[in-house]
Structure 1
Amino acid sequence: MLALEWLKNAHGIMEKLEATQLENIKKAATVMADSIEAGRWVHTFGCGHATIPVEEMYPRIGSFVGFHPLCELPLTFFTQIIGQMGIHQFLFLERTEGYGQAIMKNYDFDSKDCLWIFSHTGINAVNIDVALEAKKRGMKVIVYGSAGETGDKASRHSSGKNLFQLADIVVDSCVPLVDASVPLKNHFDKVGPLSTLSFVTMVWMTITTVAEILADRGVQLYIHPSHNVPGDTTAHERLDAAIAEYQKKVKIL
């Protein structure tokens, strides 16, 4: 049963993350905690399916203020697939040098901020643009993706560097570069990708570590509570407080 084969592959990814990436996750989380403690932001960015971890982390029950999504709708997969905002346009934009620079012009960044980028292959121009612009502003750049598989492969950017080569900290998703993991009878291409599962797993491994670091430092976190639990009479007050804190902080951008 192919469902069990995919599940076995998924378990394998999680086991590799636990065995090999905890130290890198702690390094990344420490940089993020420093930004949040300083009253600044962890900016998050990805394209295509790599926007899913960005959307998963904030706003989200069990997450907290400090993560700022840089979501560009044309770069997500919330598209009509064909026609207006189709896949062809998305692929063009993702690979077009200069688009990331235009995105970064919209915000007032600070050197105390850091940038957290998700990219499976790390070779597309828009991610590299964004990373380079962040580094110009003195920000630490943290990249999650298939770093071991990508290695020194050439990018689609005039710098000649891929995203992992530019990063200050890299966390390897441990996912094969082809991503899809299950062979299918009578077909060349495999089914059952693993990168999204790995990204979301790494998100919560990281954010829980950031929370642990900040709590140990005595920093108050504005956590999004569940507001669907009967009997929790203060949930909406805590949610309002988190949103108010986000609104106050986002004005600096």
Structure 2
Amino acid sequence: METKAEITRYLDYLTETWKSVTENEIDHINQAAEFIFNSCKDGGRFYVFGSGHSHMIAEEIYIRAGGLAYVKGILPPELMLHEMPNKSTYLERLDGYAKSILNLYKVDEKDTLMVVSNSGRNNIPVEMCLEAKKLGTKVIALTSMDHAKNVSSRHSSNKKIHEIADVTIDNHAPKGDAAFQMPGVKAGLGPTSDFTGIGIAQTIIIGVIHKLKEAGLDVPVFQSSNLDGADKYNDHLFDTYYGYWK
């Protein structure tokens, strides 16, 4: 098979995966947007958390051109990938850390939290959901149901994030995420969870912005810092919506 044909085959694979999202997740995305809209309306924030590669979804909608100023990314560097291979993998399996993170960010009952985890099984994502629920925070799980339903939880509660959240959005990634098969290559290729996850996250933001607009409320959206005049506009949003705390 020619390389261009293999590239096309993978693009078709991505298209079919995204089609599964559009055919099955609109109601869940709308419910998530409703929770976030209520948080924005009531003086809360939309917090987004993911470890490992899942942090990219949180980062994608945080302080982004076209992004909503109510979004706050929970992005501890020790749970990302740039410091050391496997560090985030090991730390994600620790008990007790999530509660401290939520305390540091002062998450409360006015807020909505989206926890992104493809497997949904590890300790910190599970505890983020459990501890946020104790605070009265609305919780959104963004996960792969194909993966989550086929593995056990690593947390003492025996729960996975979709079993705790107020609404679950399936990213429609297959178990193991990297499942595109190429003849002659043993390992699965082409993971899709970030591809669909980022699309879902941006779609949620569109839904929230539409609800804010329809309600006649302020819609604080960042502009690209590479547009003339955008720095002054964005600085006003930083001054209004950001600070060390909420």
TM range (shorter): over 0.9
Q: In the TM superposition, what are the counterparts of 1:134-145 in structure 2 within 5 Å?
A: 134-145=132-143
Question: Which residue in 2 is equivalent to 1:186?
Answer: 184
The DSSP-based 3-state class of the residue aligned with 1:69 is strand
Question: Which residue in 2 is equivalent to 1:29?
Answer: 33
Conservation of the 8 A alpha-carbon contact between 2:141 and 2:162: yes
How far is 1:235 from its partner?
Answer: 2.5
Using structure 2 for the length normalisation, give the TM-score: 0.93
Instruction: Give CA deviations for 1:176-234 in whole Å, capped at 9, x if unaligned.
Output: 112113223333211111111011110111100110001100111221112323xx5x4
* Alignment-mate amino acid for residue 180 of structure 1: A
Using structure 1 for the length normalisation, give the TM-score: 0.90
The DSSP-based 3-state class of the residue aligned with 2:64 is coil
* Alignment-mate amino acid for residue 243 of structure 1: F
Question: Which residue in 1 is equivalent to 2:77?
Answer: 73
How far is 1:175 from its partner?
Answer: 1.1
Instruction: Give CA deviations for 1:114-170 in whole Å, capped at 9, x if unaligned.
Output: 111111010010111111110110111101111244227421000011111111100
Instruction: Give CA deviations for 1:22-70 in whole Å, capped at 9, x if unaligned.
Output: 0110000000010011111111100111000111001100002111111
* Alignment-mate amino acid for residue 251 of structure 1: W
How far is 1:14 from its partner?
Answer: 1.4
Question: Which residue in 2 is equivalent to 1:83?
Answer: none
Tell me, in whole angstroms, the C-alpha distance in 2 between the residues paired with 1:74 and 1:227: 28
Question: Which residue in 2 is equivalent to 1:55?
Answer: 59
Tell me, in whole angstroms, the C-alpha distance in 1 between the residues paired with 2:72 and 2:105: 11
Conservation of the 8 A alpha-carbon contact between 1:60 and 1:224: yes
Conservation of the 8 A alpha-carbon contact between 1:5 and 1:182: no
What's the % identity of the aligned pairs?
27
Conservation of the 8 A alpha-carbon contact between 2:115 and 2:125: yes
Question: Which residue in 1 is equivalent to 2:103?
Answer: 105
Question: Which residue in 1 is equivalent to 2:239?
Answer: 244
Tell me, in whole angstroms, the C-alpha distance in 2 between the residues paired with 1:186 and 1:50: 29
Tell me, in whole angstroms, the C-alpha distance in 2 between the residues paired with 1:151 and 1:194: 18
Tell me, in whole angstroms, the C-alpha distance in 2 between the residues paired with 1:182 and 1:59: 32
Tell me, in whole angstroms, the C-alpha distance in 1 between the residues paired with 2:88 and 2:224: 34
* Structure 1: stretches of 5+ with no match in the other structure: 80-85
Q: In the TM superposition, what are the counterparts of 1:164-183 in structure 2 within 5 Å?
A: 164-183=162-181
Runs of 4+ in structure 1 off by over 4 angstroms are none
Tell me, in whole angstroms, the C-alpha distance in 1 between the residues paired with 2:147 and 2:202: 23
The two structures, once aligned, show a CA RMSD in angstroms of 1.6
* Alignment-mate amino acid for residue 245 of structure 1: T
Question: Which residue in 2 is equivalent to 1:82?
Answer: none
Conservation of the 8 A alpha-carbon contact between 2:49 and 2:114: yes
* Structure 2: stretches of 5+ with no match in the other structure: none
1:20 to 21, 24, 48: 24
The DSSP-based 3-state class of the residue aligned with 2:211 is helix
* Alignment-mate amino acid for residue 30 of structure 1: E
Conservation of the 8 A alpha-carbon contact between 1:65 and 1:245: no
The DSSP-based 3-state class of the residue aligned with 1:181 is coil
